[in-house]
């Protein structure tokens, strides 16, 4: 047996042992149940998520079980999650944040795009998050809306998070970044600040209003 074959047999086994000993209780706050599995996420560099969860708090996507963040990362990428090059680093929230904003803010953001349509134009909406390689080699996760007419694509509106900063949301319209913002819930989590549900809802609607305003004003300049 060649050395490379040996490595292929022994490494995963060592890994399973190591991971099994790391697993004790479920890591959901306040949950006292024993953990039944580790999160199955392994990023493009082979780093795995080291969190363990009980039956109730392990989130299934397809055949595998994940923690909350990685379940949403894998779901956000859809079929692309099978490609290691599409997967953000284990501690990077890019894909799930983009997806969350396009989901929670869907009515506001798509409404702003729809209201800017010119006669004969239609909207094509991304259903999953795409990963693009930028000129400096870093990656960007994005999802949004493309506007087109019978001649082809006329505009695109994308919510993006770059590899360099996974808290910063960029709004790009026709390849120009027109607004950047850190979502209020991330700012608060960083500051360990708790707020009432009413204040949280108000901050979120302001955040989506900020994005919506930029979509409307930039698309209004199209001729
Ligand atoms: Zn639990
Ligand atoms: Zn995980």
Ligand nearest to the backbone CA of 93: 2
Residue 145 and residue 67: Cα distance in Å, rounded?
29
Q: What is the pLDDT of residue 19?
A: 56
Report pTM. 0.85
Q: Are 113 and 219 in contact (CB under 8 A)?
A: yes
Ligand nearest to the backbone CA of 39: 2
pLDDT tens string 75-87: 999 999 999 999 9
Ligand nearest to the backbone CA of 27: 1
Q: What is the pLDDT of residue 24?
A: 82
- Distance (angstroms) between ligand 2 centre and the Cα of 121 equals 41
Q: What is the pLDDT of residue 191?
A: 92
- Distance (angstroms) between ligand 1 centre and the Cα of 209 equals 36
The residues of the chain scoring below 70 in pLDDT are 1-23, 223
Q: What is the pLDDT of residue 16?
A: 52
Q: What is the pLDDT of residue 22?
A: 57
- Distance (angstroms) between ligand 2 centre and the Cα of 19 equals 13
- Distance (angstroms) between ligand 2 centre and the Cα of 69 equals 6
- Distance (angstroms) between ligand 1 centre and the Cα of 128 equals 28
Helix locations, 30-154, DSSP H: 68-77, 94-104, 106-115
- E-assigned strand segments in the chain: 37-38, 52-53, 59-61, 64-66, 122-125, 130-133, 139-149, 152-162, 165-173, 176-181
């Amino acid at each position: 047996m060649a050395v490379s074959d040996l490595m292929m047999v022994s490494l995963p086994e060592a890994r399973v042992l190591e991971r099994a000993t790391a697993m004790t209780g479920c890591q959901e706050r306040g949950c006292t149940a024993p953990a039944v599995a580790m999160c199955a996420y392994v990023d493009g560099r082979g780093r795995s998520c080291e969190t363990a969860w009980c039956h109730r708090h392990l989130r299934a996507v397809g055949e595998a079980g994940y923690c909350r963040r990685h379940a949403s990362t894998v779901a956000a990428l859809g079929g692309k999650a099978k490609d290691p090059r599409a997967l953000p680093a284990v501690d990077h929230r890019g894909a799930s944040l983009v997806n969350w904003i396009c989901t929670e803010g869907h009515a506001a953001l798509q409404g702003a795009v729809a209201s800017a349509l010119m006669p004969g134009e239609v909207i094509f909406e991304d259903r999953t998050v795409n990963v693009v390689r930028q000129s400096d080699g870093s990656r960007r996760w994005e999802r949004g809306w493309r506007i087109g007419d019978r001649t082809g694509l006329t505009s695109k509106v994308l919510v993006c998070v770059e590899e360099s900063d996974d808290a910063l949301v960029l709004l790009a319209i026709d390849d120009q970044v027109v607004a950047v913002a850190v979502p209020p819930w991330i700012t608060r989590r960083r500051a360990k600040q708790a707020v009432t549900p009413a204040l949280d809802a108000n901050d979120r609607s302001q955040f989506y209003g900020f994005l919506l305003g930029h979509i409307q004003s930039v698309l209004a300049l199209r001729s």
